[in-house]
Amino acid sequence: MQRRYRRPKPQKDPFKHFLINERIKIPQVFLIDEHNNQLGVMSTIDGLKKARAAELDLVEVSPKANPPVARIMNYGQYKYETEKKNRRAKAHQKTIELKAIRLSFRIKGKDLETKQKQAQKFIADGHKVKIDIILKGRERTNKSLAIDNIKKFIESLGKNTKIIQPVASLNGQITATVTKN
């Protein structure tokens, strides 16, 4: 069987909607200069001449305004700074994952302690923890015991846990979600 190469999807360019210099087809624009002074409504050609005189670009920043707003700025520098700001914001994002811990109906002793330590570690790391028990066969007749097991497990995690989703039962699965308080 032959493997096929998948071409990566093109990244969306956040600057694609900006019209620059000669690409601005509107006859009149509201012009803002490089020092944020409002120069008022003038023809696009005059705005382009002022931008060329300042050795900068004329960028249409608000195309839906009436008349559209254009600003005289260094477009390359603006693009670089916004990309840098977006990268910095993405680097400082904290992702919270949902970790799952599956208990059995008859779990006791060291196995239960191991699951508790694991859940406490996840909670200490700032993750949400989903605790579930899947009931099989005749275990389904004793749902109340399984619910009590989950409640005891949550209590054993300590006081620094907060219940996000209370104990819920759906078919043969009993779940609850907790996180750091």
Contact (Cβ atoms closer than 8 angstroms) between residue 75 and residue 21: no
**3 state SS for 62-124:** ECCCCCCEEEEECHHHHHHHHHHHHHHHHHCCCCCCEEEEEECCCCCHHHHHHHHHHHHHHHH
For the stretch 74-80, contacts whose Cβ atoms lie closer than 8 Å and that sit 24 or more positions apart, written own/partner, are 75/18, 75/20, 79/15
Give the whole-angstrom CA distance, residue 70 versus residue 38. Answer: 10
Domain extent listing, the chain:
19-91, 98-180
* Phi and psi torsions of 58, nearest 5°: -100, 115
Which CATH number describes the domain made up of 98-180? 3.30.110.10
Same fold: 19-91 with 98-180: no
Q: What is the reported pTM?
A: 0.51
Which pLDDT tens digits describe the chain residue by residue (181 residues)?
567 777 777 766 666 667 888 888 888 999 998 888 998 899 999 999 999 998 999 988 888 888 899 999 998 888 898 899 989 988 887 777 899 999 988 888 899 999 999 999 999 888 999 999 999 988 888 888 899 999 999 999 988 889 999 999 888 899 999 998 8
The whole-number pLDDT of residue 16 equals 63
pLDDT of residue 14: 62
Kindly report the CATH class assigned to 19-91.
alpha beta
